[in-house]
Amino acid sequence: MKSNVFAFLVLALAGCSSASPAAPAAQAASGEQHAAGEACEHEGAACEHGEGHACDHEHASGAPAANTLADGSTLYGHELNASLPVTPLATILAEPARFAGQTVRTEGEVSAVCQRMGCWMELRAESGTVRVPIAGHAFNLPRDITGKHAVIEGTVSVTELSEAQRAHLASEGAQALASAVSISATGVQLR
């Protein structure tokens, strides 16, 4: 009981803009809610939330640094699983329900990137475009990677965006707002 009261007091005093490393964990435990458009900041990385968004993630805290690989490409996030076969993006977009909830490895051209934080990108193939949010805001991408080739690994989701989510993403430069398909990336390799 005392620890819950202490966590509440820490939250009340620190607020969402605290630079304290314990703040994100305490906020996640409390389920702190933000109003639409209200920004929060965790360890120097900020985002704006939609209505009722729970502050339950750490923004780029403890994020792995970008690594230059032997082939000259750059890896962001976790190393890609070499044993996972590459599934064409066209196949995923043609049958999203078949892949929902599965971890996939796919590739395409980066067609847009979040211009605020680099916390999402859009990946384009000949048959369409998919949103690629960075899983848990674990790392950020450079904002100038449009046109580069990307190989990603992540979990496929099929969830319609709300109007507030569409407006938020559009304000950051998103284009693929009509599709319900997204791939939450844990690793991105850019060439």
Nearest CA-CA partner of 43 in 53, 29, 57 = 57
Percent of the chain past pLDDT 70, that is, above it, reads 66
CA dihedral 180, 51, 175, 159 (to 10 degrees): -10
In CATH, the number for domain 67-190 is 2.40.50.140
> What pLDDT digit, counting tens, does each position of 101-148 carry?
999 999 999 999 999 999 999 999 888 899 999 999 999 999 999 999
- Residue 26, pLDDT above cutoff 90: no
Count CB-CB contacts under 10 A for residue 184: 17
- Residue 25, pLDDT above cutoff 80: no
> Structural domain boundaries of the chain?
2-54, 67-190
**End-to-end CA gap in the chain:** 52
> What pLDDT digit, counting tens, does each position of 56-76 carry?
344 444 445 689 999 999 999
pTM: 0.68
State both tokens at 92: 């995923």
